[in-house]
Structure 1
Amino acid sequence: MVGEVIRKVLIVGGGIGGMALAILLRSKGLDVDLAERDPQWRAAGAGLTLNGATLRVFSEIGIEEDVRRLGSVHGGVRLHDRWGNIIEDRPAYVPEPGDIMAGGAIMRPVLHQILAERTRALGTNVRLGLTVNTLDQDKDGVTVTFSDGSVGRYDLVVGADGLHSQMRKLIFPDAPGAAFVHMGAWRAVFPRPAEMETTWLFLDASQKLGFNPVSKTHMYLFILEPMTENQWREPEDWPRLLAELMSGYCDQVSSLATSIDESTSINYRPLEMVMLPQPWHSGRVVLLGDACHGTTPHSGYGAGLATEDAVILAEQICAPGDLDERLNAYCDRRYPRCRRVMDLSLDLNRMERAGVPIVDQFHTNMALMDIARQPY
Structure 2
Amino acid sequence: MLNTNSPSILRDILQIVSDIKNDLFIFKKDPSIKEIGVADVKAEVLLLKKANEVTIKINVVYKLSDGLFKTLSFLSISHFADNLSDLHVSEASTHDISQALAHWFSFCSEELSGRVTEDQWAVLNAPHRRYVFLAMQTWTLQHSNVPTVSINQEPGCERPLEVEMMLERGNPAEGASIGVSGQAANAAEELGLYEKLFQAGRHIDRSYSALDLRDTDGDIISKARSDPYGPNSKETVCIYRPTWIRIMTETASELGVQIRPLTTYTAIDNRSDGVTVTTTHGEVLEADIVIGADGLHSAVRELLFPDHPPLTYSGQLSIRWMAPGAQVDPESWYTSSQGRLSFYWLPENLVYIASVLHAPEAKHLSADEVRLRFTKLLDSFSAPALKELRSRFDQHVELIARNYYWILLPDPWFRHRGILIGDAAHATTSHMGQGGGMALEDSVVLAQCIRDSSSLEEAFGGFMKRRFERVSTVVNASVQLSRLEQQEDWSPQERMVYRGKAMAAISAPY
> Normalising by the residue count of structure 2, what TM-score does the alignment of the two structures yield?
0.64
Greater CA drift, 306-315 or 296-305 = 296-305
Q: 1:35 aligns with which of 156, 166, 170?
A: 166
Is the CA contact (8 Å cut-off) linking 1:104 and 1:212 kept in structure 2?
no
Whether 2:352 is the aligned partner of 1:220: answer yes
Whether 2:184 is the aligned partner of 1:54: answer yes
For 1:365, the equivalent position in structure 2 comes to 499
Q: 1:64 aligns with which of 169, 194, 202?
A: 194
For 1:6, the equivalent position in structure 2 comes to none
CA distance in 2, matches of 1:372, 1:66: 24
Per-residue deviation, 1:65: 1.9
Whether 2:466 is the aligned partner of 1:333: answer yes
CA distance in 2, matches of 1:327, 1:205: 46
Identity over aligned pairs, percent: 26
Whether 2:438 is the aligned partner of 1:290: answer no
CA distance in 2, matches of 1:191, 1:340: 36
CA distance in 2, matches of 1:14, 1:350: 34
Letter paired with 1:345: S
CA distance in 2, matches of 1:338, 1:317: 19
The CA deviation string for residues 56-83 of structure 1, in whole angstroms up to 9 with x for no partner, is 1111111212212221110221422232
Whether 2:286 is the aligned partner of 1:156: answer no
Is the CA contact (8 Å cut-off) linking 1:239 and 1:261 kept in structure 2?
no
Residues 1:69 and 1:360: Cα distance change in structure 2 (over 3 Å): same
The CA deviation string for residues 353-373 of structure 1, in whole angstroms up to 9 with x for no partner, is 113111111111212333442
Partner-residue secondary structure (3-state), 2:400? strand
CA distance in 2, matches of 1:200, 1:265: 22
CA distance in 1, matches of 2:178, 2:271: 40
Is the CA contact (8 Å cut-off) linking 2:221 and 2:492 kept in structure 1?
no
Partner-residue secondary structure (3-state), 2:209? strand
CA distance in 2, matches of 1:334, 1:138: 24
The CA deviation string for residues 107-128 of structure 1, in whole angstroms up to 9 with x for no partner, is 1111011101111222223332
Structure 1: segments with no counterpart, 5+ residues: 1-12
Q: How does 1:162-241 map to 2 (within 5 A)?
A: 162-191=295-324, 193-194=326-327, 196=329, 199-204=331-336, 207-215=339-347, 217-241=349-373
Letter paired with 2:491: P
CA distance in 2, matches of 1:57, 1:188: 28
Is the CA contact (8 Å cut-off) linking 2:432 and 2:477 kept in structure 1?
no
Per-residue deviation, 1:263: 4.0
Q: Which has the higher contact order (CA 8 A, sep 6+)?
A: 1
Greater CA drift, 322-331 or 134-143 = 134-143
Larger Rg: 2
Alignment length, in residue pairs? 354
Q: How does 1:241-320 map to 2 (within 5 A)?
A: 241-249=373-381, 250-320=383-453
Partner-residue secondary structure (3-state), 1:268? strand
Letter paired with 1:44: E
For 2:236, the equivalent position in structure 1 comes to 103
The CA deviation string for residues 34-60 of structure 1, in whole angstroms up to 9 with x for no partner, is 33464x863334122332222111111
Is the CA contact (8 Å cut-off) linking 1:37 and 1:129 kept in structure 2?
no
Partner-residue secondary structure (3-state), 2:185? helix
RMSD across aligned positions (CA): 2.9
Residues 1:326 and 1:240: Cα distance change in structure 2 (over 3 Å): same
Q: 1:142 aligns with which of 272, 275, 293?
A: 275
Per-residue deviation, 1:232: 1.1
Is the CA contact (8 Å cut-off) linking 1:164 and 1:177 kept in structure 2?
no
For 2:87, the equivalent position in structure 1 comes to none
Is the CA contact (8 Å cut-off) linking 1:205 and 1:357 kept in structure 2?
no
Residues 1:194 and 1:320: Cα distance change in structure 2 (over 3 Å): closer
Residues 1:104 and 1:36: Cα distance change in structure 2 (over 3 Å): closer
Partner-residue secondary structure (3-state), 1:246? helix
CA distance in 1, matches of 2:491, 2:325: 30
Residues 1:108 and 1:62: Cα distance change in structure 2 (over 3 Å): same
CA distance in 2, matches of 1:26, 1:205: 54
